Amino acid sequence: MQLSYLSETPGIGGTLKNAPEDFIVEEVCEDGTILELDKLIERSGETNETEEQKWKEGKFTHFILQKTNWSTADAIREIARRLHISQTRFNFAGTKDKNAITTQLVSVFGVPPEQVRELGIKDITINGAWPASEKVELGALLGNRFRIKVSGITSKNPEESEKTVARIYEEVGGKFPNYFGEQRFGSTRKNTHIVGKFIITGDFEGAVMEYLASSEGEINNEAKAARKELAENKNFRTALTNFPKHLRLERSMLAHLAEEPDDYIGSLRRLPRNILLMFVHAFQSMLFNEMLSERIRESGKEIEPEEGEHLEDGSVIGKLIGYETETNEREEGVLQRYGIRRSNFRIKAISEISSKGSWRPLFAQLKDFEFSKNSKDVAVGRTDFSFNKNTETFTFSLPAGSYATMALREFIDAKKDIG
């Protein structure tokens, strides 16, 4: 569905992510430290001996991962392969965009810092590694800082586009609908929410076949052909031979199904818990987007708390629906459209991915917002940042869990055919 906008003013046009270097994301840690691009962070005052001793005591290594055109999952998978360990040993605060240059803090268990520093992987840089006593927890970040170039804007000159952006910023009050962005639904195939719906409704065969056999959006030709063949003949043993080696998770599921072709739950259990949770959360996210869009269509930015909601820092905190969520008539209507009940989020067959529900602000605030014609001070020290006519750069910070693409759609999109 077309998600509603806060602003009615047509945006400046243009496109995002024409190249990874045009979309820069720097993680902001809980202590306020910005993991700046290309900046090495070292823990001073430690000799090799003291570092080794600290690592032996805690067994965790924290490191700064800088990646270009890698999804977080794929980058971790490749690092795990190079280190000859399971990717389940890694933890991070949040996933980052694929078609971008990003930084983030990652932890790994059982690998000393020196081994991490010695990694040599194309388009992956380790900007520091040190011993730690605990893993990086999911959500343990303040937010992210963005520098994003928009190409091909339709405004006639920079002054016109600056006026348009200023008008929209004032119109929305420096905030935007806190929709989940497209990467929540998969980096390429965009079907994680579909898998999630199958799981939630107890159709585990449907979930397995959607994850393994759906070829829509698949960019690897070998993988696309293998998925299509599996969809047509449902021969798991043949699929295990055909699926490319880099699809390790899929191959693990297929290996199970080749021996137990009717055990779809067992096949899903071959996936890490965080991947299974991702499916459930993706479907919850889609529901959140639809419900928020409906409310904006009705009330604009003057949304008042409904039954069961509350205000936090002036923003309405909305619901991510789970089995414990108290729903109102509107929310029940959306659930009914998908044939879902709240109780479906209690997933008895895989209880560890059940979701009782959660909360999310309906709007997010743009902080340190700047908009300017591209100039060389936008990407100091970088030679790969491109400069073309009709390009502008947005710079801003967002709280953890908010999506830059959802902020920029207010300033870029034409806003046509919105009902």
Q: Which residues are catalytic?
A: 97
Number of domains in the chain: 3
pLDDT tens, residue by residue, 288-342: 999 999 999 999 888 999 888 889 888 899 999 999 999 999 999 999 999 999 9
**Nearest 5 degrees, angle CA 350-CA 348-CA 359?**
85
Same structural domain, 162 and 211: no
Question: Which of helix, strand or coil describes residue 336?
Answer: helix
Domain boundary among 108, 139, 170: 139
Predicted local distance difference test score (pLDDT) of residue 417: 42
User: For residue 396, what are the domain limits?
Assistant: 13-21+143-178+364-412
> How far is residue 124 CA from its own chain's centroid?
18
1 lies in some domain? no
257 lies in some domain? yes
Same structural domain, 114 and 236: no
Give the residue among 348, 370, 344 at the shortest CA–CA distance from 166.
Answer: 370
Same structural domain, 233 and 249: yes
Same structural domain, 189 and 324: yes
pLDDT tens, residue by residue, 137-169: 989 999 999 999 998 888 777 788 899 999 999
Q: In sequence order, what are the residues at sequence separation of 6 or more whose Cβ sits closer than 8 angstroms to the Cβ of residue 356?
A: 322, 323, 324, 325, 345
The four Cα atoms 240, 96, 84, 126 give a dihedral, to 10 degrees, of 150
2 lies in some domain? no
Predicted local distance difference test score (pLDDT) of residue 45: 60
DSSP 8-state secondary structure symbol assigned to residue 54: H
Same structural domain, 190 and 277: yes
Q: Rounded to an integer, what distance in angstroms lies between the CA atom of residue 273 and that of residue 352?
A: 8
Predicted local distance difference test score (pLDDT) of residue 383: 41
Q: Rounded to an integer, what distance in angstroms lies between the CA atom of residue 219 and that of residue 326?
A: 41
pLDDT tens, residue by residue, 179-206: 999 888 887 788 999 999 999 999 999 9
CATH number at residue 389: 3.30.1360
Q: What is the pTM of this model?
A: 0.86
Q: In sequence order, what are the residues at sequence separation of 6 or more whose Cβ sits closer than 8 angstroms to the Cβ of residue 343?
A: 323
Same structural domain, 369 and 349: no
pLDDT tens, residue by residue, 24-43: 999 999 999 999 999 998 77
Same structural domain, 49 and 64: yes
State the average pLDDT over residues 349-377: 88
Same structural domain, 165 and 184: no
Same structural domain, 122 and 57: yes
